[in-house]
Chain A
Amino acid sequence: MKSQKFWAWFVFALGAAYFIIPLAATFEFSLRMRRGEYSFDAYASVFSDPQFAASFTYSVLVGLFTIVVGILVVVPAVYFVRLRMPWLRPFMEFVTLLPLVIPALVLVYGYIRLYGSSSLIPFTGSVLGTDILLTCAYVTLAMPYMYRAVDNGMRTIDIGTLTEAAQIMGANQLQIIGKIILPNILVAILSGAFLTFAIVIGEFTIASLLNRPAFGPYLVGIGTNRAYEPAALAIISFIITWGAMGMINVLGRFAPRTSARTD
Chain B
Amino acid sequence: MPAFLEVQNLVKSFGTNTVVKGVNFAFDKGEFISLLGPSGCGKTTILRMIAGFERPTSGAIRVDGEDITHLKPNQRKLGMVFQAYALFPNMTVGENIAFGLKIAGMPADQRRARVDEMLKLIGLPGFEKRYPYEMSGGQQQRVALARAIAPKPRLLLLDEPLSALDAKIRVSLREEIRAIQRDLGITTVFVTHDQEEAMSISDRIVVMNAGNIEQLGAAHDIYNRPETRFVATFVGQLNTLPTGVIPGISGERAIRPELISLAPRPETDLTLTGIIADLHFLGSVQRLRVDVGGTLINIDTFNNQTAPLHRGDTVTLHLAQKDLLILGA
B contact residues vs A (CB 8 Å cutoff): 51-53, 72-80, 82, 84-91, 99-100, 103-104, 131-133, 135-137, 140, 147-148, 151, 157, 164, 166
Does A169 count as interface, using CB distance less than 8 angstroms? yes
**B147 cross-chain contacts in A, Cβ below 8 A:** 165, 169
B99:A166 contact, CB within 8 angstroms: yes
Between-chain CB contacts (< 8 Å), 10 pairs: A161-B82, A166-B99, A168-B74, A168-B76, A169-B147, A169-B151, A170-B77, A184-B90, A256-B91, A260-B89
Which residue of chain B is the closest to A186 with respect to CB atoms?
Answer: B90
B78:A168 contact, CB within 8 angstroms: yes
Which residue of chain A is the closest to B48 with respect to CB atoms?
Answer: A164
Does A226 count as interface, using CB distance less than 8 angstroms? no
* Chain A proximity of B271: nearest CB distance (Å): 50
Out of A165, A183, A261, which one reaches B90, CB within 8 Å? A183
A168:B89 contact, CB within 8 angstroms: no
Cα–Cα, bound, A149→B133 (Å): 23
**B75 cross-chain contacts in A, Cβ below 8 A:** 170
Out of A168, A261, A263, which one reaches B166, CB within 8 Å? A263
Cα–Cα, bound, A38→B144 (Å): 65
Which residue of chain B is the closest to A182 with respect to CB atoms?
Answer: B90
A257:B82 contact, CB within 8 angstroms: no
**A170 cross-chain contacts in B, Cβ below 8 A:** 74-75, 77, 100, 103-104, 151
**B86 cross-chain contacts in A, Cβ below 8 A:** 158, 161-162, 164-165
A261:B137 contact, CB within 8 angstroms: yes
Out of B84, B104, B137, which one reaches A263, CB within 8 Å? B137
Does A39 count as interface, using CB distance less than 8 angstroms? no
Secondary structure class of chain B's binding surface, majority of residues: loop
Cα–Cα, bound, A186→B72 (Å): 28
**B80 cross-chain contacts in A, Cβ below 8 A:** 164-165, 168
**B131 cross-chain contacts in A, Cβ below 8 A:** 256-257
CB-CB contacts below 8 Å: A140-192 with B: 157-158, 161-162, 164-172, 175, 179-180, 183-184, 186
Which residue of chain B is the closest to A175 with respect to CB atoms?
Answer: B103
B89:A184 contact, CB within 8 angstroms: yes
Does A258 count as interface, using CB distance less than 8 angstroms? yes
17 additional A-B pairs beyond A158-B86, A168-B76, A169-B79, beta carbons within 8 Å, are A158-B84, A162-B86, A164-B51, A165-B80, A165-B88, A167-B52, A167-B73, A168-B78, A169-B147, A170-B103, A260-B85, A260-B87, A260-B89, A261-B135, A261-B140, A262-B137, A263-B136
* Chain A proximity of B140: nearest CB distance (Å): 7
* Chain A proximity of B287: nearest CB distance (Å): 30
A256 in contact with B90 given A261-B133, A263-B166 (CB within 8 Å): yes
Does A3 count as interface, using CB distance less than 8 angstroms? no
Does A259 count as interface, using CB distance less than 8 angstroms? yes
**A169 cross-chain contacts in B, Cβ below 8 A:** 74, 79, 99-100, 103, 147-148, 151
**B87 cross-chain contacts in A, Cβ below 8 A:** 165, 260
**B84 cross-chain contacts in A, Cβ below 8 A:** 158, 161
Out of A161, A167, A168, A260, which one reaches B133, CB within 8 Å? A260
Most buried by B among A167, A183, A184: A167
**A180 cross-chain contacts in B, Cβ below 8 A:** 88, 90
**B73 cross-chain contacts in A, Cβ below 8 A:** 164, 167-168
* Chain A proximity of B105: nearest CB distance (Å): 10
Cα–Cα, bound, A162→B77 (Å): 17
